[in-house]
Every structure is written in C-alpha cells, then in structure tokens.
C-alpha cells in the first residue's frame, strides 16, 4: 500500500515555501501561475497539501488546488503552532513552518477541506468586505464622540453616511447571491426560521461555516469556537472557557444567541436558568449561542425549519 505524501506549504503575501518530505525545500511566487504549476505537480503525484488559513493570502493557492482536484487541509494557525511546540520546535521561519505543516499532515492526518462552490466563495468575499466597512463605521462613530469641533463632526458624519450606504449595498449583494443559488436559498430559509437569525447572520453562517449540518454537535461547536475547554488538574477543577475556532462565526453567533434569548421563550428560559444557577450573564449568553448553533446544525442536517419546543 502506497503511503500518502503530505506536503507542507507556508503561505506569505509574495511567496509560498514548500516542504516535500523527499525533496529539497522550495520557494515559489504566490501568483496564479506559480500556484497552478505547483498544483499540477501535486495532482500528478497524488499529494495532500497542508497549509494555514492566512487571512486571504492563501486564496490563490486554494483556488489552484481546487481547480486541479488536489486534496488539501486548511488548518487553524493556532493548531499548527501548538503542534510545532509539542514537537519541540520553538523557532519560527517560513521553511520551518512548512516542514511542521508536512509533519502535522503525516501524524494527525487532518480532514480534507471541502472545495467551496463559486457562490459560497463570492458570499464569503462580501461578508468579509461588510465586516471591514462595519469596522470603519465603528471607528468613525468613536471619533465623532471624541470630537467637539463642528466642522470636523460634520465631516465625520458625512463619511459615516457614505459607509452606511456602502454597507447597505454590500448587504443587498449578499442577499442576491443567496437567493440566486437554489441550495443556499434553501439553507437560508431554514436558518432564518430560527429565533435570533436574520438575513446577515444566516448569510455569514452560510459563508463562514459550510460544515453546518455535516458534522456532529461537538465538532460544529469547536469549529465556531463555542466549545467549553476543560482546565482541570489534580483535585482542582478550573472554570471552563471557550477558545479557538472561527472568531467571525463566534461573534455573529453571540449576537444571535443574545437576540434569541430575548425573542424566544425556549432560549430565554435556558439563559435565565443558567444565570439563576450562578452563571455570569456573558457566559450564559455564550451557552445560549452554543445551544442555538447545535439547534441550527440539526435543522440543516434534517432539512427542517425551526419548531419551538412544545409545538406540535
């Protein structure tokens, strides 16, 4: 039986550092031409590529691998760094990172990352752009509160108005992408039937959490960064806390959980019960967000809209 070859790729803005277990380290340009050539070679060899999610710089590599039909795993940077430390590697260079990614693939064999359809990829780009614009608007709102000069305040207000128009336009584009795709429109309809989930929450989940409905409740909570992590040692039982996962998904679900606990008796009772048992309000909302996510996951898996508890 032929052993699977795992190739580690460290992604930078301008280049890709490649570690093949049986070849010398290689550096190529992070361009469509360079990525396509690498992907063709990997396809011929039947290799499995391991690389980190890198804030958009990995887009060219991912698209080339998808087009060539190459299996790959896009891993969380924290997971990759923790693995390197566990292997006793404290130094950090591009070549070292690529070597550790190849080693991670060989030892842990992470699940393959599914190729994103064009509609989900476009939706992902728009959700990212919306977050950027919302962030800029928040910055300008803060500056408006800190400024007394009337002329400067007028200038800030005019920029906020521009940003709000751009955000509105982006949101319309997001909804059009969802409605134009039969599969996404069906998922969107199911998601929005749940309390706390509106058009933007649904679109964000569709774009950023394609695993929704395809993995079990524990896995989906971990992907979203809503799974409690134990901190026990000996007789000491430390408080559970969430960490890791996808910050974008965690943030949007926190807000959705908050709204669900206000709009739905089911989630409201759940949150109040936790707070009554001594949970801090924020921890109770996080738990409510996790409950909402698990509910959404089951809904998508079954293809059924939300039914409140106690309904026939």
CATH at 84: 3.30.420.40
pLDDT bracket for residue 245 (50, 70, 90): confident
Tell whether the model's pLDDT for residue 162 goes beyond 80. yes
Tell whether the model's pLDDT for residue 225 goes beyond 90. no
- The answer as to whether 189 is a domain residue is no
Q: Does residue 134 share a domain with residue 82?
A: no
- The answer as to whether 188 is a domain residue is no
Report pTM.
Answer: 0.80
Query: What percent of the chain is predicted at pLDDT more than 90?
Result: 79
Domain total in the chain: 3
- The answer as to whether 113 is a domain residue is no
Range of the domain at 101: 6-108
Q: Does residue 258 share a domain with residue 234?
A: yes
Average pLDDT, the chain: 91
Q: Does residue 233 share a domain with residue 161?
A: no
- The answer as to whether 132 is a domain residue is yes
Which pLDDT belongs to residue 56? 78
- The answer as to whether 187 is a domain residue is no
Which pLDDT belongs to residue 293? 97
Q: Does residue 214 share a domain with residue 165?
A: no
- The answer as to whether 172 is a domain residue is yes
Q: Does residue 301 share a domain with residue 198?
A: yes
Q: Does residue 95 share a domain with residue 17?
A: yes
Q: Does residue 249 share a domain with residue 157?
A: no
Q: Does residue 149 share a domain with residue 40?
A: no
pLDDT bracket for residue 174 (50, 70, 90): very high
Q: Which of 76, 108, 140 is the last residue of a domain?
A: 108
- The answer as to whether 1 is a domain residue is no
Tell whether the model's pLDDT for residue 164 goes beyond 60. yes
Q: Which of 180, 206, 230 is the last residue of a domain?
A: 180
Which pLDDT belongs to residue 232? 42
Stronger pLDDT, 64 or 1, i.e. the higher one: 64
Which pLDDT belongs to residue 76? 84
Q: Does residue 63 share a domain with residue 19?
A: yes
Tell whether the model's pLDDT for residue 91 goes beyond 90. no
Q: Does residue 131 share a domain with residue 53?
A: no
Task: Count CB atoms within 10 A of the CB of residue 183.
Answer: 12
- The answer as to whether 186 is a domain residue is no
Read off the pLDDT of each residue in 292-312 and give the average, rounded to a whole number. Answer: 89
Q: Which of 77, 108, 139 is the last residue of a domain?
A: 108
Q: Does residue 207 share a domain with residue 167?
A: no
Q: Does residue 19 share a domain with residue 83?
A: yes
- Among residues 77, 29, 27, 20, which one has the least CA distance to residue 49? 20
pLDDT bracket for residue 230 (50, 70, 90): very low
């Amino acid at each position: 039986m032929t052993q699977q070859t795992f190739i580690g790729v460290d992604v930078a803005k301008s280049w890709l550092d490649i570690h093949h277990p049986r070849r010398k380290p290689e550096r190529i340009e992070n361009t469509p031409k360079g990525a396509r050539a690498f992907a063709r070679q990997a396809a011929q060899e039947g290799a499995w590529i391991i690389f980190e999610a890198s804030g958009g710089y990995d887009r060219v590599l991912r698209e080339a691998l998808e087009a060539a039909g190459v299996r790959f795993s896009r891993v969380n940077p924290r997971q990759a760094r923790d693995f390197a430390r566990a292997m006793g590697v404290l130094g950090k260079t591009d070549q070292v990172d690529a070597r550790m990614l190849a080693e991670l693939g060989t030892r842990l064999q992470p699940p393959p990352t599914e190729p994103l359809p064009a509609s989900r990829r476009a939706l992902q780009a728009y959700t990212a752009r919306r977050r950027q614009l919302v962030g800029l608007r928040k910055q300008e709102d803060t500056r408006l509160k800190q400024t007394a000069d009337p002329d400067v305040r007028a200038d800030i207000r005019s920029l906020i108005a521009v940003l709000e128009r751009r955000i509105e336009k982006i949101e319309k584009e997001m909804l059009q992408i969802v409605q134009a795709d039969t599969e996404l429109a069906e998922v969107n309809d199911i998601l929005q039937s749940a309390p706390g989930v509106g058009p933007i929450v649904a679109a964000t989940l569709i774009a950023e959490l394609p695993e929704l409905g395809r993995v079990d409740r524990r896995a989906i909570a971990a992907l979203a960064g809503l799974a409690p992590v134990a901190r026990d040692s000996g007789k000491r039982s430390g408080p559970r806390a969430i960490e890791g996962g996808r910050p974008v998904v965690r943030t949007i679900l926190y807000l959705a959980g908050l709204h669900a606990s206000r709009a739905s008796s089911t989630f409201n009772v759940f949150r109040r019960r936790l707070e009554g048992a001594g949970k801090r309000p924020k921890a109770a909302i996080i738990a409510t967000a996790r409950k909402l996510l698990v509910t959404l996951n089951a809904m998508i898996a079954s293809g059924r809209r939300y039914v409140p508890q106690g309904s026939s």
